[in-house]
Amino acid sequence: MNHAGVPRGYWAKPDRRPAAASLPRATEKIGLWLAAASVFLTPCNILRVDTFYFTASDAFALAAVLAMVLGKSFSPAPLGAGTFLWNAGVALLCGMLLLSSLINGDPQRGFIISAQYLYAYFLLAFMLASRPWSETVLLIKALICSIGLMCLHGILVIDILRQQGSNLTSGNGRFIGWVERENECATLIALAVPLLLWLVASGCARPRWAWIGVPLLAYGIVLTGSNTGLIGLVFALTIFVVMTGSWRRIILLTVSSLATFFIIVTWGRDFLPPIFQRRVLNALQNGDIDEAGTFADRMRLIHEAIGKADSSSLLGIGADQYRHFSELHAPVHNVYLLIWVEAGLPGLIGFLLLLVAGIVIGMLAARLREGRVSAICTLATVLLFAALANALPHLYSRFFVVPLMLGIAPSVAILREGPVPRTVARFLRGARSERRRLRSLQRGPV
């Protein structure tokens, strides 16, 4: 046979090996798992360096952002339509904290606190809020799993091993978790509730996980003995259920809440942890709010801060300086007043712009046909964060910011990519029957 004119290599066996993944695709996958590791380690405040506030979660986050840059998946507008408002708020807050510190306060503390806010609210937005649906759901599940494991660990340490004064409990028996702070631990747990409810409502998790997860998170807050966390939990459940507009769910929540309240007040001393009885139950049974933890001291700090805010209309006293001017030598546990006094009124306006940006994103998602559940998640998370800020000092710790970002992420995703695909929302009611119908249509008549 004459093979003249046949291209060289024509008779060679074809190479059936899969093509190697390109560098951008590989770095994108690596970046996703680095981001998941960062989110999972968010509650682990114990894993940090001693010289300055930098945690293991931060190290993975920086690596994830670097991988996004190398993989060319770095979005210039991570929050979509809310990016301008969000960045304007970050710039105003950080700029006024730094300027007030340079003029009136400690410049070194000004640089440090401003850098912490800039990192938490600006850089983390690129890692968390600009991802496709499947990656967004993965990150939310990573955070909820981490917080759930922390609550289970608390049950093991306090209820089973009966340890007090350890690395996970305070001297009076309050659960501080991996966060190392009682009220902050309870706040983190409460911020996970809207995310868990969204996973179930959107079909990204089975309904049974809500019935398992919410009681577990609630008991984790009980172990902290935190009134702030308990109020946040009730607020989160109420806001999310009421926004769904389902009367059946509203009635179910109301009846179950009243039943739980009656059981706790009547028989709570028989089964609740002693710290919860001292800090919360006594106040409920006696009707005296002064018995609810350190409420009286916090109110003294708030009244003092209100008096100091009048002289901070433009410039504040500088970052981290309130404790030096206070008669109680402690920062006021109200971030709005604290920022107003330390950064001035423009700094407070910057912080409020962050909250407004989150609300705007949620409202834009609510206008879409299938964006209601994502909008509820965003609005519930932002409103809960805004409410809890009334009882907390500076909010640049990552265990505050990551839940806020992940609560906004579903609305950003639906505005950018449309509804959650069936491959992600595979537990949505009716999705299974719809898939069966499509398969039957593809097979055709028998």
pLDDT tens digits, 240-268 = 999 987 788 888 888 988 888 888 877 77
**Angle value at C-alpha 178, between 93 and 319, nearest 5 degrees:** 20
- In angstroms, rounded to a whole number, what is the distance separating the alpha carbons of residues 154 and 385? 24
Predicted pLDDT of residue 432:
46
Helices 335-343 + 295-309 axis angle, to 10: 30
64 located within any domain: no
CA distance 20 to 59: 29
Residue 252, number of CB atoms within 10 A of its CB: 12
| Domain carrying residue 259 | 77-422
How confident is the model at residue 262, as a pLDDT?
83
Separation between Cα atoms, residue 204 and residue 414, nearest integer Å: 14
Give the separation between CA 228 and CA 182, rounded to whole angstroms: 10
Q: List the one residue out of 88, 82, 78 whose CA is nearest residue 363.
A: 82
Determine, yes or no, domain membership for 111.
yes
Distance, CA of 258 to CA of 24 (rounded, Å):
54
**In 316-367, alpha helices (H):** 322-325, 335-343, 345-366
Which DSSP letter does residue 269 get? G
| Surface-to-core class of residue 49, CB atoms within 10 Å of its CB (0-12 exposed, 13-18 middle, 19+ buried) | exposed
Q: Six-digit token pair at 1? A: 């046979």
Is 7 part of a structural domain of the chain?
no
pTM of the prediction?
Answer: 0.88
Q: Look at the chain and count its residues.
A: 446
Nearest to 205 by CA among 251, 144, 256, 132: 144
- Asked if 197 and 210 touch (Cβ cutoff 8 Å), the reply is yes
Q: How far apart are CA 78 and CA 60, in angstroms?
A: 19
Asked whether residue 324 is domain-assigned, the answer is yes
Interatomic CA distance for residues 256 and 307, integer angstroms: 42
Question: Do 38 and 47 contact (CB within 8 A), yes or no?
Answer: no
Does residue 259 sit within a domain?
yes
Q: CB within 8 A of 176, min separation 6: which ones?
A: 168, 169, 170, 182, 185, 224
Asked whether residue 162 is domain-assigned, the answer is yes
Structural Rg of the chain based on CA atoms:
25
Any domain includes 5: no
Residue position matching structure tokens 């952002």: 65
Q: Residues with Cβ < 8 Å from 12, sequence gap 6 or more?
A: none
- Residue 210 inside a domain? The answer is yes
Token duo for residue 194: 């809207």
**Cα gap 93→149, rounded to integer Å:** 34
Which residues of the chain have a pLDDT value below 50? 1, 6, 8-13, 15, 17, 19-21, 431-438, 441, 445-446
Domain total of the chain: 1
Alpha helices in 225-344 (DSSP H): 227-244, 247-267, 274-276, 282-286, 295-309, 322-325, 335-343
State the chain's mean pLDDT as an integer.
85
User: For residue 420, which of 361, 362, 367, 374 has the smallest C-alpha distance?
Assistant: 374
